[in-house]
């Protein structure tokens, strides 16, 4: 739907999108949001506004390139606000928009799920790797 | 913790895992579960047991290689059960385990979020792309 304006789209039913359809834009959005960096950044920002350097420390192991790129995408998609304060040095703060906060609740659930069920997954892997090779 | 057994791990506190730590196994699990194919497969299987061919049709656009690989990973991680019925032709059914069902609820939320908020994201992108370049 490249020729539609936002107003056109707003006029349509909310649930016109279906991620099961290969070329539906919501499939691409689901793909983009299904990302560990997105999850970790959104969950971290859910607690408070953070500077770039704080986020970088909070999300251990993220490269500067990946953090910058993910933040820019989240800002463009309306999930994150980037606020520049003119000072020396320049201060850049990131926080969640209401839309970002709504996704954050879900992402927190996924992150928590991974932490809480890690042992069960380990056990399942052991069973799988040591099962009889009859199948 | 490669030398620990599952029983050792079970004995520890559940929340020893922290996906914010770069080398925590839960970070890798979060990464693996953050995948549009995982989301779409789990949500589809939440409704009922499905054959491979049904899944392949339900998740439009997934390659056979990707579907097979994702199902194997989900089975190994204890989220999906693969049941082979000896018949002509051989019948293979996939269904969710209770662990898979618990993640499925979360994934359904993320998929629904992408569909419901697609318009807001489109509008945010338009604003971002047409903003003054003062920043």
CB A127 within 8 A of CB A119: no
CB A91 within 8 A of CB A51: yes
With 80 as the cut, is the pLDDT of residue A7 above it? Answer: no
Q: Let me know if residue B135 belongs to a domain.
A: no
User: How many Å is the maximal CA-CA distance in chain B?
Assistant: 68
Q: What is the reported pLDDT for B12?
A: 52
Query: What total of structural domains would you count in chain A?
Result: 1
- Whole-number Å distance between alpha carbons of A114 and B93: 26
Please state, for a pLDDT cut of 70, what percent of chain B lies above it.
Answer: 86
ipTM: 0.85
Q: Let me know if residue B58 belongs to a domain.
A: yes
Tens digit of each residue's pLDDT (9 = 90 or more) over B78-132: 999 999 999 998 999 999 999 999 999 999 999 999 999 999 999 999 999 998 6
With 90 as the cut, is the pLDDT of residue B11 above it? Answer: no
What is the pTM assigned to this prediction?
Answer: 0.85
Size of interface A-B (CB pairs under 8 A): 184
Q: What is the reported pLDDT for A13?
A: 47
Q: Let me know if residue B6 belongs to a domain.
A: no
Chain B residue with Cα closest to A44 = B20
Average pLDDT, integer, range A32-55: 95
Beta-carbon separation of A21 and B99 below 8 A: no
Q: Let me know if residue B31 belongs to a domain.
A: yes
Q: Is B20 on the interface with A (CB under 8 A)?
A: yes
Closest to A67 (Cα-Cα) out of A45, A52, A82, A77:
A52
CATH number at residue B96: 1.10.10.10
- Partner B, chain A 48-107, Cβ-Cβ below 8 Å: 58-61, 75-79, 82, 84, 99, 102-103, 106-107
Chain A residue with Cα closest to B102 = A113
Q: Is B33 on the interface with A (CB under 8 A)?
A: yes
Closest to A74 (Cα-Cα) out of A101, A105, A111:
A101
Q: Let me know if residue B11 belongs to a domain.
A: no
Q: What is the reported pLDDT for A133?
A: 59
Residue A98 pLDDT class (50, 70, 90 cuts): very high
Q: Let me know if residue B89 belongs to a domain.
A: yes
The domain of A109 spans: 18-129
Average pLDDT, integer, range B14-41: 92
Q: Let me know if residue A135 belongs to a domain.
A: no
Beta-carbon separation of A78 and B125 below 8 A: yes
């Amino acid at each position: 739907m490249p020729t539609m304006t936002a107003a056109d789209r707003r006029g349509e039913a909310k649930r016109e999108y279906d991620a099961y359809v290969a070329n539906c834009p919501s499939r691409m959005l689901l793909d983009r949001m299904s990302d560990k960096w997105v999850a970790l950044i959104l969950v971290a920002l859910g607690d408070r506004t953070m500077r770039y350097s704080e986020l970088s420390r909070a999300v251990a192991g993220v490269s500067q390139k990946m953090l910058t790129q993910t933040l820019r995408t989240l800002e463009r998609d309306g999930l994150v606000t980037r606020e520049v304060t003119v000072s020396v040095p320049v201060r850049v703060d990131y926080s969640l928009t209401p839309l970002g906060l709504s996704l954050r609740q879900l992402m927190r659930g996924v992150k928590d799920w991974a932490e809480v069920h890690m042992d069960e997954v380990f056990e399942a892997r052991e069973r799988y790797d040591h099962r009889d090779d009859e199948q």
